Structure 1
Amino acid sequence: MRATVLTVSVLSASSFSLAPAQHRRPPLKASVLDEPAKSTPALDPDGGVAVTDEEVARKFVYDFGEGKTDGNGTQRALLGGKGANLAECSLIGLPVPPGFTISTEVCTYYYAHDGTYPLSLDVDVKASVARIEGAVGKRFGDASDPLLVSVRSGARDSMPGMMDTVLNLGLNDESVEGLAAKTGNERFALDCYRRFIAMYGDVVMGVQQRHENEHEPFDAVMDQLKAERHKREDLDLTPDDLRELITRFKALITERSGEEFPQDPYEQLWGAIGAVFRSWGNDRARIYRAKYHIPAEWGTAVNVQAMVFGNLGDTSATGVCFTRRPTDGENVMYGEYLVNAQGEDVVAGIRTPKAIDEMKTEMPDSYTELEHIRGVLERHFADVQDVEFTIQEKKLYLLQTRNAKRTGLAAIRTAYEMVKEGIIDDKTAVKRIPADSISSLLAPTFSADALERETPLATGLPAGPGAASGHITFTALGAEAIQREGRKAILCRIETTPEDLRGMIAAEGILTSRGGVSSHAALVARQMGKVCVCGADVTIDYSRGTLGIGTTVLREGDFVSIDGTTGHIYAGRVDAAPSEVNQVLNGKLDPDESYTYRIFQTVMGWADKYRKLAVRINADTPKQAATGLKLGAEGIGLARTEHMFFEGDRIHYMRKLILAAEDSERRRAANKLLPFQRDDFHEMFNAMDGLPITIRLLDPPLHEFLPHESSARLALADKISVPFEKITERVAALQEMNPMLGHRGCRLAISFPEIAEMQARAIFEAAAQVVAEGGQVALEIMVPFVGFKAELDNQVNTLHEVAREVMAYRKVSFEYKVGTMIELPRAALTADDIAHTAEFFSFGTNDLTQCTMGMSRDDSGAFLPTYTAKEIISQNPFASIDQVGVGQLVQIACDKGATVRPDIKLGVCGEHGGDPKSIEFFHRVGLNYVSCSAPRIPVARLAAAQAALADEERH
C-alpha cells in the first residue's frame, strides 16, 4: 500500500455540535494528528487517496457521472438508493450531472463518534470536488464562474421529504455577481442565491417554524415583500426585488440563529453534509422509519452533485415524471413540470405545475428524449420509475430515478402488466407487490347512488385513489386528536411538509390547495395508501380555521368528503360503496366487466402457486366464513364461541347460567343455550364443506357477559326475574383485578364443567348431523389458556366422553382433533409435555405478547408511540410480532412439540396472522397455516408466497 501524507484541518471534538444550527466544517478524528501536515495528498491512478492507516484508507467517497463512476446499482446498502441509482444510470449512458456519494458508513461513523468524521474524508471530498470541476469546467468558490452543487440525502429505502436537501450551494455575495455576469442573466443568479440562503438557513442554521401554525419564516418574508411591491408570483420579482429579499433573508438568519450566513463555500458544504446526516435522526425521519420498519442503523448517504438549472429562462424547466401512472398503474408517462423553475418548486407544491403532456407542444424535443429515457429506465430497472429531471437551455439531465411509490392498485396492475409485457416473470411480480397493498383493492369507494345526490363543490388533482369522509382539521395535532377519539379526520393543508407526517398517518384522507401529483402530499399519501386530493380549488385559512369551497365555507370539525380517484370534493359526509372486487365477489358485478378483478385473481393465483403456508379465516358466523371463502380462505383457524352468545335472547340464558347458584340451575340454563350453539356450528360446517374448522371453547372471563351500568342491571333483573341485588353481588364477585390473567379459558371450564359439556355436545351433535346428511366435517377443537398439561387432560377427557355419547346415540362416526392455544409463556416452555395430549398448537400471539412483554394491548397506547419514536422498539408488538422475544417462545414451542409429536399441526390465529412481516417469521419457524380476519386474507396469501420465495433465495 502506498503511503501519503494528508493535508487536513483538525478541530477539537468539543467544537462540534449536533445542534441544528451547526454549520461549520466538521472535525476529523481528533486524536489522529496533532497538527496539519504540510504536503498535499498524492492520488492513485483511480483518483482515490492511498494512506497507510487502515481506517483512513477505507473508501468512503464514490464518484459518478461523466468519465468516472465507482459504484453501481447493487450497492444500495453502501451508497443509498439515490447514489446507487445515479451510479447505475451513469454506467448505462444516461445524462447524469457529475457528482459523488459519501457512503452510509460515514453516517454510522458520524453517530458513533459524536459528530466527527473519518480522517480521510476531508481530502476525499476535495478530490471529488476537483473531479467535478474538471468535468464541468468550473471551479468551486470561483468568484467569476462558480461551480454550484446540490447536497441531498439518500437512504437505502426511499424516504421522500423526510431528510434534508440544499441546492445552489457555493454561492456567496461575490460569486453571485460573477454568475450574473457569466450567464448574462442577473435575475437567474439572484434567484439561485435567495433560494440557497433560504434552504441553508432552514436546513443548516435552524431557521424554522416556531409552532405548527406559524407561516414558514422565509416564505413569510417573501410574501411580505411581494405585498409591498404589489407582485403576485415569485417570477414577478425583479432583480432589485430579489436583492432586497436576499438582504432580508440574511437578516432573518442572524436574528434567529445569532450567526452570519457563511460566505466560504467549503464551510457551506460541510454545513450541508452535516445537516443531511443529522436529518437521519430528526423527528419526521424517525416517525417514517417506525411506520415503514426501516432500521435506524442503516443510516443515510449524502449525494453531492453539480447543479444544472431549470430556472435559466423559458428554454429551461424542471419536473418529475413517472414511467407509469402511480395512481392506477396505466402504462402512460405521467408527471408534471415547471418552466423557469427549480426542482423544489415542483415537489414542495410552491407552484402548481403543468401536466407532462403539455411538454409535447411546449418542449417537443425534450419530451421525445424523456419518452426514450422512460423506456430505457423501465427495461433496465424492470420496475416503474419516479424520475426527477432538469432541462437547462434545452438540454435534458437526469437528477434521480427510484422505484416509484404507488398506490396498491398501481403496484398490482404494473406488476401484472409487466409480466404480460415480458419485462418480469410472475415470481418477480409476487416478490415486488407490497403485500399490504392488495387490501387497497377491497377498500370502499363513494356509492353511485350517493354521488347522484351530491354535487362536487371543487375539484383537485387525484393523487391517492379511494374515498374518504371525515372531520376537517388543519393541523397534524388535530388529526391525531380526532383519531384518538375514534373518529376520522381529513387533514387540510395549503401544502404539506414533512412536519405534517404524524397528521398524515392519523388522517383518513389529505386535501391540499397547492401542489401537484408529485408534491410531498401526493407522494407520501400514495405510499401510505391514503386518499389524497392535491392542488384543489379551495381556500384554506389557518387563522380563521376555515375551508372555502366555492361559495361554501366549512369550519374545523365539519365533515368533508374527498374522492382521490376523480379529485372531487364534497361538503358533508358521502356514503361509501364496496370496491369493484367486492362487488364481483358478492355477485353485484360481472367479472368480465372488471379489469381490476381480473388482475386481482391473477395475482392471487401467482401467490398460491408459490406459497407453502395455508391461509384460514377468523370467523364466528357462517356469513363471515362465506366471505373468507370468497377471498381464498382454506378453512377457519379461529371460531370464537363466546361471540355466539350475544345474538338475540341467548345472552339472557348465558347470564342466567352465570348467575345460577346451583349446579342444576346452571345445567338448565346451559341446555337452553345448546340448540343455539348447535345450529350455529351446523351452519358453519355446511359453509366450509369439509374444510378444517378450529373451534375455540369459551375463553373470556364471565364478568364480560354481565351488565355493569345500574340501569342495564335493572332491565336484566326484570327480564330474567332475578333480584337486582343478586345481579350486583354476582358482578362484584366475578370482577377481577386483571381479567386477562384471571378466571378464564380452560380455568372456567374446569370450575364450571356444565359450560364445557354443553359446548362439546353442541359441536359434536352438529358434526353428527352434517355427517348424517352426507356432508363432510374436518373438526378441530381448541382448548384456550392452557398452562399445564393436566388442564388440557381434564378438558380432553370431557370432550372424548361427550363425543362417544353423541356418536353412539346418532349412530355415526367422524374424526376430530383436540389441541390448544399456546398463549402463555409456560405453555410454550413446556410444549413437549403438552404435546403428549395436544394434536395441534395454535398460537394466540396477542395474549402471548401481553404475557411475555408485560404490555396490555388495550393500555399500552399511552407509551408505545413514545417507545417507537425513541426507537426503543421498532414497531407496535401487537401489530407485528416481536420476533426476538415472543418469537423465541413460538420457536421453542414448535421445536418441543415436534420432538413428541412429529406430525403436530402448527398455526397462528391472532391478528399477527395477517401481518406480512409476522407471516415471513411464521413461515421460517415451520407453521402450517396462518389465520386472520377476512380483509387480510389476500394480504396473507401474498405475504406467504413472498416468505416462501425469500426462503428459496436463502437456500
Structure 2
Amino acid sequence: MKQIYFFAEGNRDMRALLGGKGANLAEMTGLGLPVPSGFTVTTDACHQYQTNNNNMTSQLEEELKDALQHLEEQTGKLFDNTANPLLVSVRSGAAISMPGMMDTILNLGLNDQTVLGLAKQTNNERFAWDCYRRLLQMFGNVVFGIPEKTFDNEMTKLKQAKHYQSDLELTTADLKQLAQQFKALYTATEHKAFPQNPHEQLQLAVDAVFSSWQNNRAKVYRKLHGIPETLGTAVNVQMMAFGNSGQDSGTGVAFTRNPVTGEAKLFGEFLKNAQGEDVVSGLRTPQPIHELADSDPEIYQQFVDSVQELENHYRDMQDVEFTIEHGKLYFLQTRNGKRTPKAAVQIAVDLVEEGKISEAEALMRVDPEQITQLLHPEFAVDDLKGKAALAKGLPASPGAASGQIYFTAASAKAAHEAGHQVVLVRQDTSPEDIEGMVVSEAIVTSRGGMTSHAAVVARGMGKCGVVGCAAITIESDKSVKIGEQTFHEGDNLSVDGTTGKLYAGILSTTKAAQDPNLQKFLQWAQKNGNVDVFANADTPADFEQALRFGAKGIGLTRTEHMFFKSERLFQMRRLIIARTADDRIDPLNKLREMQQKDFVALYRLAEGKNVTIRLLDPPLHEFLPHDEVELKEVATAMNVSVDKLRNRVAELKEVNPMLGHRGCRLAVTYPDIYEMQVTAIANAALQVRSEGINVKPHIMIPLIGSLVEMRWVKDRLVAKLNEVFATTKQPLHYQIGTMIEMPRACLVADQIAQEADFFSFGTNDLTQLTYGFSRDDSGSFLPDYIEKGLLPADPFKSLDQEGVGALMKMAVNGGRKEKRSLPIGVCGELGGDPESIKFFDAIGIDYVSCSPYRVPVAVLASAQAAINRRHQPSFAKSTPTTH
C-alpha cells in the first residue's frame, strides 16, 4: 500500500488520506502556485504506526528513504551534505484543521557540520546559526518533550545580560553560544543527545508528529470541536523556504477576508526576517500585510493575485501561510479560514450575493453552534459612562466578559472548577494552554497579533479576546501590571473583545443588537428547513425573546414554573397541605386567576401562533419547605402547626421522584388540579379571542404510559372544558395531546394515538427512564463513562440515537400508523442540539421546541438536516398546519 504521495500526485479531494494541509499543498501545486517541493506521509501510515505499537513499519522506512532521494533530485540539494544541504520542515496535518494542536519542526537536516555548509553556501553565518538554534529548540520540545520554557529561559538570560530587546539583536556569536547551551540541555534534562544524523532526525520527527495525535492538547481540542479520534494525522515533509534569511525575506499569515468582521478585504500580518513560528507564537508583533505593498510592491501584487485565485478556486475565505526568501514568494499552506460567528455569517451572505455560492451552500458554511455566539454580550452603556479603560490592545475576538485574572492554564482550570469566572492573562499563549483557554470567559495577551495562536483559538472557540496589549507587563505567575495599575491573581478584570479595551472590576453586560446579515441568513434557513422550531417559554419575556429569534410559537410552557413566586407558592402550599377537596377550593380558585392572567399574556404575544401548555408535572413535595427554619416560617404564615406541616412533607416525600407521584398521576389523585388549569386555559383563550386574536389551545398531558390512562385523564379534561363552554356559550377548538417520555408509551404509541391529538417527546425524561441515568449524573459518573469510551457523548446533551432514538422512531411509526397526520414534536432541550435535529428530521419529526437562545441554532440545524437529506427518500410527515 502506497504510504507517501508527492504534492504533484494529490489533490484537495484526498483530505482523508493526505490530511487537510497535504491535500491543499497538492491542490496549490496543481494550480501552478509557487509551493516548495515536498511529500505527504498518509493518515493510513499513522494508523499503521499506532497499530504497530507506535513504531514505524519497515515498509514506511523504505518509502521514506526513496521519497527523500526523489526530493533531492527535485530540489538539486542533498540531505546530510555540507556543500548544498537540503533542509526540510516536518508538519502535522489532520483531515480536519486543528490549528497549533499538533507539532511542527523546522530546519530539519542541520547538524554541527551542515550548519557550517549552510553558512558558507548562503554567505550568511548568522542566518545559519539562527536556523540551527531553532531546530534544536523545536526538536527538543517536540521529539524529546523538553519544555519550551527551558529553552526560552536560556534565551531570556542571554538577552537580559546583553540588554537586547529583540531576538533580532542576537549576534552570530550569541547564536552559536545558544546552540551549545541548547545541546547541553538535552543531556542535562536526562534525554538523549541531539542526533547529528539527519536521517535519524527525520525518522524521529515523523514518529513525534504521529504521536502528537494523542497529545493532551490535541485530545482537548478534538473533544471541544467534536472531531473523531479515529482520523489520525498525516505528516508533510517539505523543502524549507527561509523567511529568516535577511531583510529581503519574511513570513506571514493572511486571510482573503477579515476573519473578525467578515469584511471583503485582505487581512493579514507579516514579519521581516522571520520564520512562521514567530508570527503564530506571538513572540514578535507583526506588521499589517498592506505595509508589504510599500516595501515590496511586486511581491505584494503577486500575493494579492494568488490569494484571490485561491478564494475563487475554493469558493470560500482562505487562510494562507507564506514565506518570502530573498524576494521570492512561496505558499506553505491554504485552508478555509477560522472566523468569528459574525464573520461566518457575513462571508456566507456576501458569497451568495457575489454569485459564488448558493443559499443552500451558504447555510452549510456556518456551524449552528456559532449562531448563539453571534448574540455576543456588550458592556452596558450606563456602566461604561465615566469608566476609563486601563489599556487597549487588538480586538481579536468580539464580545464582552468579566472575571477573575489567572495567569496559567492550570490555575485557570482550577479556578473554573471552583466556580469562578476566569479571565486568562498571559504574555502569549501556546497550544499547551488549551485547557485554560477552554474554561476562560476571555483571553488577553500582551504580545502577538491578530493571527497569533491566542487570536485564532479565541475566535474558533467564540471566546472574547484581546491580544498584543503592549500596556500589559506580566510580573509573575501571580501579578500583572496593566498601564499604571497592578493586578493580582483573583482580581477582577473586564474585557471588551470588540474594541480591544480592558477595564478594572466587573461590568454588567447586555445582549448585542441583532445583525441584519443574521436575519437574512435565518430567513434562508427558515425556507430550507423541514422541522419547524418552537420555543420552551414560561414567561412573556422568554416568549418575546424567542419570537425575535424566529420561533413559530411555544412548544412547551411548563406551568409548574409559574407557581414559584411568593404569593403563588403560598397558595400552592395551601393546596398541597389541604386534606379535603373542599379545603382545596379556595387556593385552586386563586391559582386559576393567576394562571389565567399568565396564559392571556402568552396568547396575546402569540397573535395566533400555537401555544402548547403542559399541565402540572413535578411531584408536589418540590413545592414544600425542607429545612427546619423554612418549615417554621411557612407554618407560621399558613397558621398551621410545624408538626402538621412536617408530617405532610414526610407523606409526600418521594424516594425516586422520576418514578413517583407526578405528571398525569397527580390528575388521578387530585383531578381538580388539572381541571383548574384547563379552566384557566379555556377562559384565557376566550378572553383573547374576544380581542380579535385567533386561539386554538394545545393542552399537553405529561407522563402518559397507556391508552387507558390517557383516556381517563382526557375524559375529565374534556368534561371540564365542555362545562366552561356551556357556561360561556362560546365553543372553542382545542387539542389535547401527550408528552411521550415513558419507554412504555413508545411501545404502545399506536394505542395512545387513538386519544392523543399530538405527541411531543420529552427527551430528558425519556433518556433518564431508558438508561436509568439521572440528569444529575452529568456531573458525577457520566464524565468517566465518556472519558473511557463507554458513551460517545452525554445523552442529555446529544440524543442516544441507538437506544432512545430507536424508541422515538417506534413511537413515530406507531402514532402515524393510527393517525397518518398526527403532529409530532420534541420539547426536551435536545430540541436545540444540531446533531439530534438531524435525527429528528430523518424520522419525520414535525417540530422541535427549545430554550429561546437555542432557537436560531435549531433553525439553522433544521435547514442543514434538510439540505443533507434532499436527495434521500423522505419519511412520511404530518400536514404542517397543526404544529
CA RMSD of aligned residues (A): 1.8
SS in 1 for 2:402: strand
CA shift for structure 1 position 198: 1.1
User: Match for residue 450 of structure 2?
Assistant: 517
Which whole-Å CA distance do the structure 1 matches of 2:381 and 2:117 have between them? Answer: 62
Deviations 1:52-81 (A, max 9, x none): xxxxxx2221111xxxx1111111111111
Pair 1:208-2:147 in alignment: yes
The residue identity in structure 1 corresponding to 2:495 is: I
User: Match for residue 8 of structure 1?
Assistant: none
Which whole-Å CA distance do the structure 1 matches of 2:111 and 2:329 have between them? Answer: 27
User: Match for residue 10 of structure 1?
Assistant: none
CA shift for structure 1 position 479: 2.8
SS in 2 for 1:158: coil
Which sits farther off after the overlay, 162-171 or 620-629? Answer: 620-629
Unaligned runs of 5+ in 2: 874-883
Which whole-Å CA distance do the structure 2 matches of 1:772 and 1:235 have between them? Answer: 80
Go from structure 1 to structure 2 and tell me whether the alpha carbon gap of 1:665 and 1:849 turns closer, same or farther (over 3 Å shift): same
Pair 1:470-2:403 in alignment: yes
Pair 1:343-2:276 in alignment: yes
Deviations 1:620-676 (A, max 9, x none): 122322222222111110000001112351111001111112222123322221111
Which sits farther off after the overlay, 838-847 or 944-953? Answer: 838-847
Which whole-Å CA distance do the structure 2 matches of 1:519 and 1:628 have between them? Answer: 37
Pair 1:580-2:513 in alignment: yes
Q: TM-score scaled by structure 2?
A: 0.96
User: Match for residue 630 of structure 1?
Assistant: 548
User: Match for residue 725 of structure 2?
Assistant: 807
Which whole-Å CA distance do the structure 2 matches of 1:275 and 1:531 have between them? Answer: 33
Unaligned runs of 5+ in 1: 1-57, 210-215, 582-595
User: Match for residue 71 of structure 1?
Assistant: 10
Which whole-Å CA distance do the structure 2 matches of 1:948 and 1:229 have between them? Answer: 64
Which sits farther off after the overlay, 854-863 or 124-133? Answer: 854-863
* Equivalent pair of 1:772/1:812 in contact (CA under 8 Å): no
Pair 1:786-2:725 in alignment: no
* Equivalent pair of 2:704/2:739 in contact (CA under 8 Å): yes
Pair 1:702-2:620 in alignment: yes
* Equivalent pair of 1:538/1:547 in contact (CA under 8 Å): no
Deviations 1:882-909 (A, max 9, x none): 2233222222222222222222211111
* Equivalent pair of 1:463/1:534 in contact (CA under 8 Å): yes
CA shift for structure 1 position 869: 4.3
Which whole-Å CA distance do the structure 2 matches of 1:863 and 1:464 have between them? Answer: 35
CA shift for structure 1 position 711: 2.6
The residue identity in structure 1 corresponding to 2:94 is: A
* Equivalent pair of 2:838/2:862 in contact (CA under 8 Å): yes
CA shift for structure 1 position 727: 2.1
Which whole-Å CA distance do the structure 2 matches of 1:82 and 1:849 have between them? Answer: 40
Deviations 1:364-398 (A, max 9, x none): 22221221122111100010111111000111110
Q: TM-score scaled by structure 1?
A: 0.89
Which whole-Å CA distance do the structure 1 matches of 2:456 and 2:776 have between them? Answer: 33
Pair 1:176-2:115 in alignment: yes
CA shift for structure 1 position 118: 4.9
Which whole-Å CA distance do the structure 2 matches of 1:63 and 1:544 have between them? Answer: 46
Which whole-Å CA distance do the structure 2 matches of 1:242 and 1:666 have between them? Answer: 88
The residue identity in structure 2 corresponding to 1:634 is: K
Pair 1:59-2:2 in alignment: yes
The residue identity in structure 1 corresponding to 2:411 is: G
* Equivalent pair of 1:290/1:869 in contact (CA under 8 Å): no
Pair 1:113-2:52 in alignment: yes
Pair 1:728-2:728 in alignment: no
* Equivalent pair of 1:291/1:875 in contact (CA under 8 Å): no
SS in 2 for 1:462: strand
* Equivalent pair of 2:697/2:735 in contact (CA under 8 Å): yes
Of 166, 182, 191, 2:130 maps to 191
User: Match for residue 304 of structure 2?
Assistant: 371
User: Match for residue 318 of structure 1?
Assistant: 251
User: Match for residue 403 of structure 1?
Assistant: 336
* Equivalent pair of 1:493/1:540 in contact (CA under 8 Å): no
Pair 1:912-2:830 in alignment: yes
SS in 2 for 1:305: strand
CA shift for structure 1 position 192: 0.8
* Equivalent pair of 1:148/1:306 in contact (CA under 8 Å): yes
Which sits farther off after the overlay, 368-377 or 409-418? Answer: 368-377
CA shift for structure 1 position 343: 0.3
* Equivalent pair of 1:764/1:806 in contact (CA under 8 Å): yes
Pair 1:764-2:677 in alignment: no
User: Match for residue 630 of structure 2?
Assistant: 712
Of 357, 360, 368, 2:293 maps to 360
CA shift for structure 1 position 874: 3.8
1:738-749 matches, cutoff 5 A: 738-749=656-667
SS in 1 for 2:230: helix
Go from structure 1 to structure 2 and tell me whether the alpha carbon gap of 1:89 and 1:851 turns closer, same or farther (over 3 Å shift): same
* Equivalent pair of 2:682/2:697 in contact (CA under 8 Å): no
Go from structure 1 to structure 2 and tell me whether the alpha carbon gap of 1:542 and 1:752 turns closer, same or farther (over 3 Å shift): farther
Go from structure 1 to structure 2 and tell me whether the alpha carbon gap of 1:401 and 1:872 turns closer, same or farther (over 3 Å shift): farther
User: Match for residue 454 of structure 1?
Assistant: 387
Pair 1:556-2:489 in alignment: yes
Work out the number of aligned pairs and report it.
873
CA shift for structure 1 position 134: 1.7
* Equivalent pair of 1:561/1:574 in contact (CA under 8 Å): yes
SS in 2 for 1:298: coil
Which whole-Å CA distance do the structure 2 matches of 1:276 and 1:794 have between them? Answer: 66
* Equivalent pair of 1:187/1:238 in contact (CA under 8 Å): yes
The residue identity in structure 1 corresponding to 2:168 is: L
SS in 2 for 1:787: coil
* Equivalent pair of 1:492/1:540 in contact (CA under 8 Å): no
Which whole-Å CA distance do the structure 1 matches of 2:715 and 2:644 have between them? Answer: 34
* Equivalent pair of 1:206/1:257 in contact (CA under 8 Å): no
CA shift for structure 1 position 764: 2.0
CA shift for structure 1 position 255: 2.4
Which sits farther off after the overlay, 471-480 or 646-655? Answer: 471-480
* Equivalent pair of 1:474/1:542 in contact (CA under 8 Å): no
User: Match for residue 445 of structure 1?
Assistant: 378
Which sits farther off after the overlay, 447-456 or 902-911? Answer: 447-456
User: Match for residue 876 of structure 2?
Assistant: none
CA shift for structure 1 position 160: 0.8
The residue identity in structure 2 corresponding to 1:436 is: E
User: Match for residue 35 of structure 1?
Assistant: none
Go from structure 1 to structure 2 and tell me whether the alpha carbon gap of 1:948 and 1:395 turns closer, same or farther (over 3 Å shift): same
SS in 2 for 1:295: coil
Of 687, 708, 717, 2:605 maps to 687
Which sits farther off after the overlay, 625-634 or 562-571? Answer: 625-634
Which whole-Å CA distance do the structure 1 matches of 2:870 and 2:145 have between them? Answer: 48
Of 42, 66, 84, 1:103 maps to 42
Which whole-Å CA distance do the structure 1 matches of 2:364 and 2:745 have between them? Answer: 35
Of 179, 194, 213, 1:280 maps to 213
Which sits farther off after the overlay, 298-307 or 657-666? Answer: 657-666
CA shift for structure 1 position 832: 2.6
Deviations 1:254-286 (A, max 9, x none): 222431111111211111111111111111111
